[in-house]
């Protein structure tokens, strides 16, 4: 009977050898680059940096970097046309959980200038609220390229508690691919012995705020 530890050790050695060969090949490729190749790489990197800088300027000119309020419904459609990535918070003033969301989105707006962060009062947007089938507040509508990709309804996806971190909100928004995120989308931030809890992330379907959450509901009037 084979020794399981020996098998694992052999697999690790084989994997290490593969990685070493790949590194050696990359080092050899870089060593063989001539001056013309290096100049081309520099030009490409410089062009990419200039393009990124221009994008940042365009984003800032379009109001990115700040968490702003939309005063009427047509602004929502104008915003989703102007910005590739949009996070819009549907709220009511009297709901405490909406104020919690405000705190986190205000932080994330400054961190992720590639995305437009905004909010709209459902009392000023009855048509839009009904069209998006929003029934629970707070709800975040996550839009990419003018199309609704996902909703964050209440706090269920955020640990189902009020004291979640901004990192948890960032992680949940990132799962809709509307912000640039370098973390592990398969790991819920800040829980478990290693600082994260592994989870199975299934393909999400678009849905409005119609779930039976324990959050405040906007159809109680």
| Domain extent at residue 34 | 4-58
Residue positions counted in the chain: 221
pLDDT in tens, 109-132: 999 999 999 999 999 999 999 999
| Tokens 């419904």 belong to residue | 73
Domain total of the chain: 2
Residue 109 is assigned to a structural domain of this protein: yes
Whether residue 107 contacts residue 68, with contact meaning beta carbons closer than 8 Å, is answered with no
pLDDT at residue 79, rounded to an integer? 97
CATH number of residue 128's parent domain = 3.40.30.10
pLDDT in tens, 49-107: 888 888 889 999 999 999 999 999 999 999 999 999 999 999 999 999 999 999 999 99
Residue 151 is assigned to a structural domain of this protein: yes
Please indicate, yes or no, whether residues 113 and 142 belong to a single structural domain of this protein: yes
pLDDT at residue 89, rounded to an integer? 98
Is residue 200 over pLDDT 60? no
Is residue 147 over pLDDT 80? yes
% residues pLDDT > 90 (the chain): 60
Is residue 5 over pLDDT 90? no
Mean per-residue pLDDT, 149-177: 97
Is residue 168 over pLDDT 60? yes
pLDDT at residue 27, rounded to an integer? 82
Residue 213 is assigned to a structural domain of this protein: no
pLDDT at residue 59, rounded to an integer? 92
Please indicate, yes or no, whether residues 40 and 109 belong to a single structural domain of this protein: no
What are residue 90's DSSP bridge partners? 120, 139
| Tokens 């390229």 belong to residue | 145
For 94, the 3-state DSSP assignment is coil
Distances (CA, A) of 87 to 75, 144, 152, 194: 13, 9, 10, 30
pTM: 0.72
Mean per-residue pLDDT, 164-182: 97
pLDDT at residue 21, rounded to an integer? 85
């Amino acid at each position: 009977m084979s020794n399981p530890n020996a098998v694992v050790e052999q697999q690790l050695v084989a994997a290490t050898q593969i990685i070493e060969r790949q590194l050696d090949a990359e080092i050899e490729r870089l060593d063989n680059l001539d001056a013309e190749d290096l100049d081309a790489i520099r030009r490409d990197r410089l062009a990419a940096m200039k393009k990124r800088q221009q994008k940042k300027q365009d984003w800032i000119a379009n109001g990115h970097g700040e968490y702003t309020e939309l005063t009427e419904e047509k602004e929502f459609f104008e915003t989703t046309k102007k910005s590739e990535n949009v996070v819009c918070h549907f709220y009511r003033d009297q709901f405490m959980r909406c104020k919690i969301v405000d705190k986190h989105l205000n932080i994330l707006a400054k961190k992720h200038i590639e995305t437009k962060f905004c909010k709209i009062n459902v009392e000023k947007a009855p048509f839009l609220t009904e069209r998006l089938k929003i029934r629970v507040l707070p709800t975040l509508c996550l839009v990419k390229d003018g199309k609704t990709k996902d909703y964050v309804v209440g706090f269920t996806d955020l640990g189902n508690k009020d004291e979640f971190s901004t990192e948890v909100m960032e992680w949940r928004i990132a799962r809709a691919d509307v912000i640039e995120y370098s973390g592990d989308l398969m790991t819920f931030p800040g829980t478990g012995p290693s600082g994260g809890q592994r989870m199975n992330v299934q393909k999400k379907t678009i849905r409005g705020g119609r779930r039976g959450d324990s959050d405040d509901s906007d159809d109680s009037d």
